[in-house]
Structure 1
Amino acid sequence: MTKDQGKRGERGRKKGKEAPAKGSWGSLAAAIGAVAMLGALLYGSFKAEDSTASVSPEPVPAATTAPPAVTTAPAPRPPPPPGKSANGENWNDAQIAWQSYEAGMARAKAENKPVCLVFYTAWCPHCRNYANVFQDPRIVTRAKDFVMIRVNPDDESAIGDRYAPDGSYVPRTFFLAPDGALMADVHAPRPKFQHFYDENDPGSLLGGMDAALRKLARPM
């Protein structure tokens, strides 16, 4: 073996010994890099948690339910004006002494006065109009010669059925003798609904009142 061949062999053995050393350093560097990367990931994770924890949470919206209903008693209804009923009729109670049927019949007999008996209902528009007739001063004056009785047949059907010679329409008005006898021939001048006096003309009822008084004045 020559001298050059011996040197090349020796260099080869040295290279072989150095190779493992270089490989170990590479592995160590890779491990260090992996640890550093893991550390960076962990640090970033902690930072993310810290930043999330520092943000105030949003409030949960309240349930959109209606407020509880407030139950208050209705305001008391003001009383109707003098002579005016709650449904708007004005029968002039302030100037005409209206009676119930029982009280009025007893009074007519005791005072020997004729009766003007009016049937009406709360739902009847003609009754509301007819009520205004009793505002007329002539009717107010003539009413003093009678016992004035007003009956709602919806409330007292038996009385309404007793006075219905030509039907149970409303309003209808009858004149009775002091003893309660019906003056059948005293009525409005009409072929039908003879006890329906003109709801707009007080003169119509005034004529019936005068006829009833004349009938009583004649000898029986």
Structure 2
Amino acid sequence: MLASSACEPPERAVKGHGPEAAGETPSAPKRVATVPAEGWNEDIAWRGLEEGLAEAKQTKMPVMMVVHTTWCGNCQKLKRTFNSDADLARLSEQFVMVHVDQDAHPEVTLYAPDGDYIPRVMFLDSDGNIDKQLQNPNRPNRYRFFYTPKEDLTATMRLALDQHDNKS
């Protein structure tokens, strides 16, 4: 008769066993939004501009910044993508997620490398520098940081994570 394997308390667990050995990481507490989501997916841990840049510097996480306005039809369409794309929401956990209304915070126009059109989705390193290589591949000449719901924003998110040494 074979004896069944017993569970060991974490302090006595044998190295090479447990969630880490299976390629899993122990789950950290889920981050929560510190600014209202304003319809941009309530489950994403949204930050304001200054707070997000400070958090990125502290945590060394990349930033995904969405610049929008309330009156913009394309912004409203992109907002629906954030609410319906489960992969996008899952990937967002590996970024400091910032959303900024350009009308309410005109200082965000400092983050307009090819114009202050909206919506703009930009990826920044942990020091707050725009990564100009991470842009919409379908728009190489104009409006390079503009995404529609039909374009693959999650592919650019994965590239950002690869480039900034995060898991995807």
Q: Same fold (TM over 0.5)?
A: yes
Count of matched residue positions in the alignment of Structure 1 and Structure 2:
128
- Judge conservation of contact 2:122–2:131 (CA < 8 Å) in 1: yes
1:41-100 superposed Cα distances (whole Å, 9 cap, x missing partner): xxxxxxxxxxxxxxxxxxxxxxxxxxxxxxxxxxxxxxxxxx873xxxx2112x101110
RMSD: 1.7
Q: Which has the higher contact order (CA 8 A, sep 6+)?
A: 2
Q: Which residue of 2 is the match for residue 171 of structure 1? A: 119
More helix by share: 1
2:87 maps to 1:120: no
Q: Which residue of 2 is the match for residue 62 of structure 1? A: none
Q: Which residue of 1 is the match for residue 102 of structure 2? A: 153
Residue of structure 2 aligned with 1:196, choices 134, 146, 161: 146
Q: Which residue of 2 is the match for residue 215 of structure 1? A: 163
SS in 2 for 1:188: coil
Q: How far apart, CA to CA, are the structure 2 residues paired with 1:108 and 1:84? A: 19
Q: How far apart are residue 216 of structure 1 and its match? A: 1.4
The one-letter amino acid paired with 1:204 is D
Question: Alpha carbons of 1:102 and 1:129: their partners in 2 closer, same or farther (altered >3 Å)?
Answer: same
Residue of structure 2 aligned with 1:102, choices 50, 72, 83: 50
Q: How far apart are residue 217 of structure 1 and its match? A: 2.4
Q: Which has the larger radius of gyration?
A: 1
Identity of aligned residues (%): 34
Runs of 4+ aligned structure 1 residues displaced above 6 Å come to none
Q: Give matches, 1:21-170, under 5 Å.
A: 85=38, 90-93=39-42, 95-135=43-83, 136-160=85-109, 162-170=110-118
Residue of structure 2 aligned with 1:206, choices 135, 139, 154: 154
The one-letter amino acid paired with 2:143 is F
1:16-41 superposed Cα distances (whole Å, 9 cap, x missing partner): xxxxxxxxxxxxxxxxxxxxxxxxxx
Q: How far apart, CA to CA, are the structure 1 residues paired with 2:114 and 2:70? A: 21
Question: Alpha carbons of 1:184 and 1:155: their partners in 2 closer, same or farther (altered >3 Å)?
Answer: same
Q: Which residue of 2 is the match for residue 33 of structure 1? A: none
SS in 2 for 1:217: coil
TM-score scaled by length of structure 2: 0.71
Question: Alpha carbons of 1:169 and 1:211: their partners in 2 closer, same or farther (altered >3 Å)?
Answer: same
Q: How far apart are residue 146 of structure 1 and its match? A: 0.1
SS in 2 for 1:165: coil
- Judge conservation of contact 2:37–2:46 (CA < 8 Å) in 1: no
- Judge conservation of contact 2:136–2:145 (CA < 8 Å) in 1: yes
SS in 2 for 1:116: strand
Q: How far apart, CA to CA, are the structure 2 residues paired with 1:91 and 1:159? A: 18
Residue of structure 1 aligned with 2:131, choices 143, 160, 183: 183
TM-score scaled by length of structure 1: 0.55
